[in-house]
């Protein structure tokens, strides 16, 4: 794992649930509890995609939510990263090939990190967010290099 050095502020995360069984959502909340306490690392859950650096997406995405997910993604400022949490968002999970599922999330918006599992452990979710953080640091360095 790389060293986090360049990101000069806290990492803000917006969570979008596509209508899953909520097991992944519960594990995300578990990462916020005192046992894991991701806020001590500067990772904070926010209520608006306009404030977010990372988009956490859970669940299989129904057709009627696909446009809303695209809109959430477009509202985020650049640079941004997308983390898909759980098997349902990655491949459709138990909902694979269902009539109402728009497909895997990477067919709707670009995805940077996949966190597999049903549900994934909080440690895996934290690891996925850190990988997204590293991607954002790399993009920040590239943007700073273009400014100079």
Measured in residues, the chain has a length of 148
CA-based end-to-end distance of the chain? 28
Closest CA to 20 of 79, 105, 77: 105
Return d(Cα 85, Cα 31) in angstroms, integer: 13
Query: What is the residue-level pLDDT of the chain in tens, covering all 148 positions?
Result: 455 555 567 889 999 998 878 888 899 889 888 898 888 888 889 999 999 999 999 988 999 999 999 999 999 988 899 999 999 888 877 888 888 888 889 889 999 999 999 889 999 999 998 898 888 888 877 777 766 6
Distance CA 91, CA 60 (A): 8
Pick the CATH number of 11-146 from 3.40.50.2300, 3.40.50.150, 3.40.50.12280, 3.40.50.10860: 3.40.50.12280
Give the E-state strand segments of the chain in sequence order: 11-17, 43-45, 54-58, 81-85, 113-115
Indicate yes or no: pTM above 0.75: yes
Segments making up each domain of the chain, as ranges: 11-146
């Amino acid at each position: 794992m790389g060293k986090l050095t360049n990101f000069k502020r806290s990492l803000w995360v917006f969570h979008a649930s596509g209508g899953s069984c909520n097991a992944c959502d519960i594990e995300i909340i578990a990462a916020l509890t005192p046992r894991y306490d991701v806020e001590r690392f500067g990772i904070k859950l926010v209520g608006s995609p306009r404030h977010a650096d990372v988009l956490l997406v859970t669940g299989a995405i129904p057709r009627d939510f696909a446009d809303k997910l695209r809109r959430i993604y477009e509202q985020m400022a650049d640079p941004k990263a997308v983390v898909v949490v759980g098997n349902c968002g990655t491949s459709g999970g138990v909902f694979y090939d269902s009539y109402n599922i728009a497909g895997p999330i990477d067919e709707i918006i670009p995805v940077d990190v996949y966190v597999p599992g049903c549900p994934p452990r909080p440690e895996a979710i934290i690891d996925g967010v850190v990988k997204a953080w590293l991607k954002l640091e790399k993009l920040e360095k590239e943007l700073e290099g273009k400014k100079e």
